Structure 1
Amino acid sequence: MAAPLAIQLEFGGGAELLFNGVKEHHVTLPSQSEPWDMKQLLVWIQQNLLKERPELFVQGDSVRPGILVLINDADWELMGELDYQLQEQDNVVFISTLHGG
C-alpha cells in the first residue's frame, strides 16, 4: 500500500477561475494500492477541487487542448503525460493558453 502523497498543484492563465480563483493548492492524495499517475490525478481534481465548468478543464480522460501541463517545470509530454507516476512533493502546473476575446 502506497503512503499518502503530498503534492502541489498550480492553476494559471485563467484556469484558476475554475477553482474559485485559487492558484495554488497543497494537496495530500489518499493512500492507494498502486502509485498515483496523472490520469488518476485528473479524476481526483475533478471530484475534489474543480468547482465549475469541467468541460473547460478536461476532455475525455485528459486535459483539454489548450491547457499546458508542467510537472516540476518540465512539459508533461516529456514525462509520459497520463502515465507519469507522481512522486512526493511533485509540483504540477496547469496553464490555460485559451483566452476569450
Structure 2
Amino acid sequence: MGGTDLPLVLEFGGGAELLFDNVKKRQVTLDGSKTWKIKELLGWIRDNLLRERPELFLQNDSVRPGILVLVNDADWELLGELEYELQPNDNVLFISTLHGG
C-alpha cells in the first residue's frame, strides 16, 4: 500500500456491540505501510477492541456463523470474505443475527 495510514470505520450492531464496551461505531487507523485483509483486521480487533467473550465473535480465524459482515454496505461474501484487501475509509459493519431466548 505504501501509505502511512489506513483509516477505517468499524461498526458493531445487533448485540455484537456488547462485546466491545457497548460502542457501536469506532474510527480506527491501522498501519498503512502494509496490506491489510479482513483476516488480519479480525486479529487486530481481537487484540485491541474485543473486551469479553471472544468466542461469541470469533471462531477459528473468522467471525462466528451468525455474524453478518458488510464492507461499504456490500456483503463480504461478494468481496472475497477474509481475503478482501481493505482500502482507506472502508466502513466494516459486523451485525450479530443471533439472539438469546
Give me the TM-score of the superposition, normalised by structure 2: 0.95
Q: Which runs of 5+ in 2 are unaligned?
A: none
SS at match of 1:55: helix
> How far is the alpha carbon of 1:100 from its aligned partner?
0.3
* Aligned: 1:89 with 2:96: no
CA distance in 1, matches of 2:79, 2:4: 22
* Rounded Cα–Cα distance in structure 1 between residues aligned with 2:42 and 2:79: 16
**Residue matched to 1:57:** 57
Please state how far the C-alpha of 1:19 moved relative to its aligned partner. 0.3
Distance 2:65 2:47 in 1: 20
Residue identity in the other structure for 2:98: L
Q: CA deviation at 1:4?
A: 1.7
- Spell out structure 1 runs of 4+ moving beyond 6 A: none
After superposition, give the CA deviation of every residue in 1:21-69 in whole Å (9 maximum; x if it has no partner). 000000001244x311000000000000000000000000000000000
Matched residues in 1 for 2:63 and 2:97: separation?
Answer: 12
Task: Describe the superposition over 1:61-99 as per-residue Cα deviations: whole angstroms up to 9, x where unpaired.
Answer: 000000000000000000000000000000000000000
Deviation at 1:3, TM superposition (A): 2.3
Q: Which runs of 5+ in 1 are unaligned?
A: none
**Conserved 8 A contact 1:2-1:35:** no
SS at match of 1:16: helix
Identity %: 67
Displacement of 1:14 in angstroms is 0.1
